[in-house]
A and B are shown apart, each in its own frame.
Chain A
Amino acid sequence: MIALLALVAASALVACGSSTDTTAEETAVSGKFAPVADAPAGYSEVSGEADLERSGSGTEVSLTVSGLEPKTAYVAHLHTGGCDQADPGGPHFQFEQGGPEEPPNEIHLEFTTDSAGEGEAEATSKREVPAGEAGSVVIHVGDESHHEMTAYDPTDSEAVATILVHEGVDHSKEGGHHEEAEPEHAHSDKVACAELEGAAAAEGGTASGGDVPTIVVRDGEPVGGVQELEYSAGEEIRFRVSSDAAEEIHVHGYDLSQNVPAGGTVEFDFPAELEGIYEAELEELGVQIIELRINP
C-alpha cells in the first residue's frame, strides 16, 4: 500500500470573483493541481486542473491531471479547506455535515490513469455546493477502501472517468458515524491538491456559504483579520468557524462555546438577543476572530 504521500500543496491559483454569488446563476471556479513539497518521488510532476461548476440545480466537478503513476487508480474528493494548510484541503465537503462519508453526501471522483500517467474524471451532484465551501479538490492514491473503479476499460488507452454520484444508494453505515471515530485514512495518501475557493476564503477570511459566513482560522489567527458580522436584534446569528488546529471557540456575552477539531468546522446558530458589540475568540489563545454587532 502506498502510504504517507502526505503532502502540502504548493501553487494555488484561483477562484473567481463570482464565487460569492449566491444567486442561482451559473458560476464556475477552477484551480490548478500541484504536488506537495515533500511528495515522494514520482509525484513531483503532477499538474492539471480542477473545475467546479454550479448550475443552480446542481454541481459538476471535473478534473484533468497528468504526471501521476501510469495505470494506477486514484480518487479525488472535494474538500472544504484550501491547499495551504497542514492537512491539505481539511475535511471532505459534505452536504449534510456529519452525514455519510460517501456520495451523494460527498463529492468523489475516481479515475485510473492511462499509460502516460494522465487521467480525467467528472462527477455531478443534484445539489449545489454552497458558495465558499468548495475549498479544493485533493487527489488520493486509490486504496483498498475504494473498490468502485469499475469503469476502467483496459482496451482504452484513455483513462475513463467514473461518475460517482450514487443517487438513491444508501452507503451510510447505520448509526451515528462520527468523523472523529474513524481517523481519516485518506490523510496519509494525498497526492495533489487544486485549490478552488480555499484561497478566496484565505483572502477574505470569510467565505460566505449561502448566507452562512465561515471564518477560517489558520495558525491561531483569523485569516484576513477579525471578521465583523452585523445583525439586528431578534435575528438569527449563524456562522461557521473552521480551524486547522483544535480550538475552543467562545462567543462572549452570549457565553457560547464549541470545540472545533483540527481541520474541522463548527457552526453557531443562535438568536440575537443581546444588543451591543461582542467578541468571539479562540479561548485558549485569547485571540479575537469575530466582532458581532447586534443593533437594536
Chain B
Amino acid sequence: MSFLPLAHALASRQDLPVPAWLFAWGASIVLVVSFFALAAGWRSPRFEQLHERPLGAGLSRALLGLPVQILCGTIGVFLLGFAVYAGLEGTAAPDRNFALTFLFVTCWLGFPFFSAVLGDLFRPFNPWRAIGRVTGAGFRAIAGQRPAHLAYPERLGRWPAAIGLLAVVWLEVVYGNGGTGFDPHTVAVATLVYSAYTLAMMAAFGTEKWSESGEVFSVYFGMFGRLGIFGTRDGRLERRRPFSAATTWATIPGSVAVVIASISTTSFDGGQEGAFKDAIETVYGWFLDAGTNPTLSLRLAGTIFMLLCFAGVAAIYLLGVRGMRTVPGAPSFARLRAGFAHTLIPIALAYLVAHYFSYFVFQEQAQFGYLLSDPLGTGHTDLFGTAGSGVDYTVLSANAIWYVQVAALIAGHVIGLTLAHDRALVYWPDYRKATASQYWMLAVMVAFTCFGLYLLSVSNG
C-alpha cells in the first residue's frame, strides 16, 4: 500500500481522535435531544421572525457612518494588499509567512466564528466591495451618471459562490496537500487572480449584486453572519433574535449548494487523514500504477473524494427533502429544497468549530505573535517585540478540545432541528403534519451529526 505524502503547511499539530466513550455519550445525547425535540412539538415558529430592536440612533450613526465605512474598507484593502505583498516578497516557509495564516486561519476561520455570534463582520471590511464602491463613486462623480450594469442572471444565484467555495478549499486542502502547492507565493498569486476576477464581476454586475450572489467570501461569511445577533436595516444597527436572520438567507437560488459545499469540504478535510484515508490511498495507488506522478495522483485522488463528499452530503439532504414531499400538503420539491437549506447553517458551523477550533486558537497565537512582528519571516524584523514568541500548546488540553468538539456538534444539531421545525410549521400549518415532515429532517440531522462525531472519532494516521 502506498502511503499518502501529506504535508501540513501550517498545522504542526493535530487533534487526538475523540475517544470511544465520548463518542457514545455524544451520539446518545443527540438521540435523546432529537426525540425530545419531536415530543416538544411547539406549534408556532420561534425563529421565523427576527424580533429586531434597533439600537440607539447615535450608536448606529457612529458605527455605520461614512467615516467608519471608509476606515473599515481601508483596513480591509490594506490587509489584503499586505497579505499579498507578504506572500510575494516574504519567506517561502508557509508557517513563517504572514500571508497564509492571515488568509486561511484568521480570515477564513475567524470571520465564520465571530460572525456567527455577532452578525456579518466581513461586509464592512470586504476589500473588493470597498474598491468597487469607491470606483463606482468615482465613476458617478466623473461621468455624472450611475454606472450601467449587466443584468445578473438570477437563475445563477449563488452557484458561482458555491463553486468558488469548493475552489478555495480545494486550493488549501487538495492542491496544497502535496506540500508543494500551498506556499505563500502561490496563494498570493491566487489572491491577485481572484481579486481581478471579483472586481471584473463587480464592474459587470454591480458591487452589491455580486457581493450578495457570486463573491465567495461575502456569501460564505455572510451565511454564518445570519446566525449572529446584530444586523443592519436602512442604515440602522439592530439587535435581532439569534439564528432568526438565517430564515431569509436561502431565498437566492444556489444557496443550498453553498451550505452543502461548506459541510462537505470540512468533512473531506476532517476525513482525509482518518475516515477516508484508506479509500483515498487506494485511489491514489491506482493513479500511481497508471503512471501518474505522486503529486498529481494525490491531487486527483483528493479532488475525487472532495467531490464525492459534496455529492454524499447533497444526497443525504435531498433524500430528506424527498421524504418531506410525501407528507400531505407539501410544497414543491424545489421550494422545500431551498426552504430548509438554512437549517444546515448551524451544522456547517458546528463542523467548522469541531474541526478547526483548536487549530484557530493555536495558530492565532502565531498570528498575533511572531507573524505580526516578523510578517515576512525574514528572521531579522521585530516590529512589536514578539518575533521570538511561539505557540503555547498547553492553553487547550486534549479533554477541553474534545468537549468543545462534541458540544459544538450537539449544539449545531439542536439549532438545526429547531430551525427545521419552525420552517415546517410555516409550510404545514397543521402542526401534526409539520411534525410528521420532521421525521425526515430529523434523520438528516442525526446523519450529519453522527457523521461529524464519527469523523472526529476515527483515529487518523
Give residues in A with beta carbon < 8 Å to B: 225-226, 228, 233, 252-253, 255, 273-279, 286, 288, 291, 293-296
Contacts and interface: CB of A to CB of B under 8 A. Distances in A.
B16 A275 contact: yes
Given A276-B358, A296-B398, 6 more contacts: A253-B393, A275-B393, A276-B16, A277-B13, A291-B461, A296-B16
Contacts of B179: 286
Given A252-B12, A252-B13, A253-B13, A274 B7 contact: no
Contact of A276 (B7, B8, B14, B390): B14
Interface in B413-461: 460-461
A276 B15 contact: yes
A253 B7 CA distance: 15
Contacts of A274: 13, 393-394
Nearest to A275: B398
B461 A277 contact: yes
Interface residues of B, number: 20
Given A225-B3, A255-B390, A276 B461 contact: no
Contacts of A225: 3
B397 A296 contact: yes
Central interface residue in B8, B12, B13, B394, by most chain A CB within 10 Å: B12
A64 B282 CA distance: 47
B399 interface: yes
A68 B401 CA distance: 64
Contacts of A288: 7
A275 B397 contact: yes
A296 B7 contact: no
A286 B13 contact: no
B233 to A, nearest CB: 44
Contact of B16 (A253, A255, A286, A293): A293
Given A252-B13, A253-B12, A255-B390, A277 B460 contact: yes
Contacts of A278: 12-14
Contacts of A296: 16, 397-399
19 contacts: A226-B461, A228-B461, A233-B398, A273-B394, A274-B13, A275-B397, A276-B16, A276-B398, A277-B13, A277-B14, A277-B16, A277-B460, A277-B461, A279-B13, A288-B7, A291-B461, A294-B16, A294-B398, A296-B16
Nearest to B7: A286
Contacts of B14: 276-278
Nearest to B3: A225
Contacts of B16: 275-277, 293-296
Contacts of A226: 3, 461
A295 B13 CA distance: 13
Contacts of A291: 461
Contacts of A294: 16, 398
Nearest to A228: B461
Nearest to B402: A296
Interface string B1-20: 00100011000111110000
A19 B393 CA distance: 38
A141 to B, nearest CB: 41
A279 B394 CA distance: 16
Nearest to B180: A286
Contacts of B8: 279
A277 B358 CA distance: 12
Q: Which 10 A-B pairs have the closest CB atoms?
A: A252-B12, A275-B398, A277-B14, A296-B398, A274-B393, A253-B13, A225-B3, A276-B13, A291-B461, A278-B13
Contacts of A273: 394
A296 B400 CA distance: 10
Contacts of B399: 296
Contact of B12 (A228, A275, A279, A295): A279
Nearest to A255: B390
Nearest to A226: B3
B268 to A, nearest CB: 19
Nearest to A252: B12
Central interface residue in A228, A276, A278, A295, by most chain B CB within 10 Å: A276
A252 B93 CA distance: 14
A64 to B, nearest CB: 40
A226 B8 CA distance: 14
Nearest to A280: B12
A287 to B, nearest CB: 8
Interface in B364-421: 390-391, 393-394, 397-399, 401
Nearest to A296: B398
B442 to A, nearest CB: 34
Contacts of A228: 461
